[in-house]
Structure 1
Amino acid sequence: MEITPTILLLYLVTLLCLGSALACFTWRYPRGKVAEWEQEARQLLGIKDASDSRLIQPSDFVKGRSFCPSCQNTLAIRDLIPLVSFCLNKGHCRFCHAPISYRYPLIEIGYALALLPLIWVVQSPLEWLLLMMLVSSLCVVSIVDIEHFFIPDECNVLILGCGLLLALLNGNDLTAHILGMMIGYSVLYLIRFVYLLVRKAEMLGLGDVKLLAVTGAWLGIYELANIVLIASISAIFYVFVKGISKQNPLPFGPFIALASMTLYYWRQFIG
């Protein structure tokens, strides 16, 4: 299919709209999970009074309406147009003029950039759908890990399923992808286990271990070393620039996600 300027513009608008939905999802989902975990902990401990809880169950992602967290006013469609509403309102709520977090336009732009190259590399609508869900899951993983320091298992399952289906769709031998998953999990789990044994502290979370396993299943065993190398170099650069501490720990999931997407697009465009 010839990519005309009109098609490219429509594609970008679609991606920005999907990015806006993703920004909403990554705000509501982790807070909902944390509130759910706190409720389960209270039930386990026999605590019935939740009046001291600082966690508020967010609105349902599908049915809940978006609202301003400052004034609680429900937002209309005119307030939710990706990038446009933020610019027209100069980064403030239309009702109470409280500042709106820059996370929303940044996520919309970042998501659009992450999926933009797919328009030139996919061969079929099914392949685009699988890659869209996979890359979207990597974006969710990155955002949630940066903001809340955990990686949703649902995203790992979705990445694994889409990765293996893409391998089948492209006629690849699944052996390399299964081995990528098994060895990817084993390598990071072993590193985590040894560090925990020696230093009595966790170097990596199990979410990171699972993420390397599913990205290994997507890209195959031959890309595992490259994923780890690129992710590690990126993390070292981040530490060099920003530093880490107990108050500012290092989420490794975004670096694995970035390395995986970089390698995929590199192979598609460079070879």
Structure 2
Amino acid sequence: MEAIVFVITVFIVGILISLVAAQMPKVAYKQWEADAKEYLNIKDEAATKQPQSTIWDLHQLKSELIVRKQKHLCLAMLFLIACIPAWLYIHDPLAMGLICGVIGCILVGALVDWEHMYIPDETIVLGLGLAFSFLIIHGDNLEGHIIGAMVGYGFIAFLRWFFYRLRGIEGIGLGDAKMLALTGALIGVTDIFLSIIAACIIAITLNLLSQRKQSKEIPFGPGIAISGLIFYHLQLLNEALA
């Protein structure tokens, strides 16, 4: 009975996470558009004449779910599969809920990056808060995970600086650095470098298998997310076998 409740609950949460991932770019684009108009001093008369409906209203979320039902169901199933190891090896309900929240934030960031080439800051901030809350409750080596987050962010930030000095252009976004900081906080400093190598391989493989073969830009977020979750699940398995 407990397993059934877990599956149903996590699957429903996964659908909600998928809907949030679909709506977040729309919210960001509207905010960017408003900021640009304010900066350029452009008055939008149509917007002032009639109030605009919020992008998070239930009608729009329902329409999004109906139109792209298959995609949201697939992501919900992926979220469920990613959370199963936590349910098997973490017996504290609060700790399990926190780690499932971290997994959800990682998946949202990866999905948005794959489709829109940016990673929302909100998912990273929330994910880091949940991750460190889990580490405090679970009693893990907090210092090692803090260093893992710092190394993850610092590695990408250094590559970004080095590439800019070498080529004069920004070769990698800071969103990837934030995503690697989140996965570094989750897996700790021990496996962070192996995770980075695996993330590069996964990102390149996904790009070759997708329709982005001719694109010069490769979304690195999905590779970081998959690699981080794989190493975290391996750590759970090692703890269970120890």
Q: With structure 1 as the length reference, what TM-score do the two structures score?
A: 0.77
Deviation at 1:188, TM superposition (A): 1.1
1:19 has 2:9 as partner:
no
CA positional deviation for 1:58: 7.0
Change (3 A) 1:228 1:32: same
Q: Does 1:64 align with 2:58?
A: yes
Whole-angstrom CA distance in 2 between matches of 1:198 and 1:21: 43
**In structure 1, C-alpha distance between the alignment counterparts of 2:36 and 2:45, rounded to whole Å:** 11
| Conserved 8 A contact 2:11-2:79 | yes
Q: Quick check: which has more Rg, 1 or 2?
A: 1
Identity, % of aligned positions: 27
Q: Distance in 1 between matches of 2:180 and 2:230?
A: 14
| Residue number in structure 1 paired with 2:230 | 262
8 Å CA contact retained: 1:178, 1:217 = yes
How far off is 1:109 after superposition? 1.6
**1:217 Cα deviation after fit:** 2.1
Rounded Cα–Cα distance in structure 2 between residues aligned with 1:257 and 1:37: 26
Q: Is contact 1:32-1:58 (8 Å) kept?
A: no
Within-5 A mapping of 1:70-219: 100=68, 102-219=70-187
Q: What is the Cα-based RMSD across aligned positions, in Å?
A: 2.3
Taking a change above 3 Å as real, the CA distance of residues 111 and 39 of structure 1, as seen in their structure-2 partners, is: same
Aligned-pair distance for 1:270?
A: 4.0
Following superposition, the deviation at residue 172 of structure 1 comes to 2.8
Structure 2, unmatched stretches of 5+, are none
Distance 1:29 1:268 in 2: 31
Cα distance in 2, alignment partners of residues 167 and 112 from structure 1:
22
TM-score, structure 2 as length reference: 0.86
Partner AA of 1:64 in structure 2: L
Any idea what SS the aligned residue of 2:79 has? Answer: helix
Distance 1:29 1:100, change over 3 A: closer
TM-fit CA distance, 1:67: 4.2
Shift in Å, 1:159: 2.0
Q: Is the 8 A contact 1:208 1:253 kept in 2?
A: yes
- The residue type equivalent to 1:244 in the other structure is K
CA gap of 1:239–1:45, structure 2 versus 1, over 3 A, is same
Aligned length: 233
Q: Give distance in 2, aligned partners of 1:26 and 1:50.
A: 30
In the alignment, the residues of structure 2 paired with residue 170 and residue 261 of structure 1 have an alpha-carbon distance, to the nearest angstrom, of 18
- Matches of 1:143 and 1:51, distance apart in 2: 33
Residues 1:221 and 2:189 are matched in the alignment = yes
Provide the C-alpha distance between the structure 2 equivalents of 1:218 and 1:143, rounded to a whole number of angstroms. 19
Report the counterpart of residue 244 of structure 1 in structure 2. 213
Structure 1 residue 24, shift from structure 2 partner: 1.5
Larger RCO (CA under 8 A, 6+ residues apart): 2
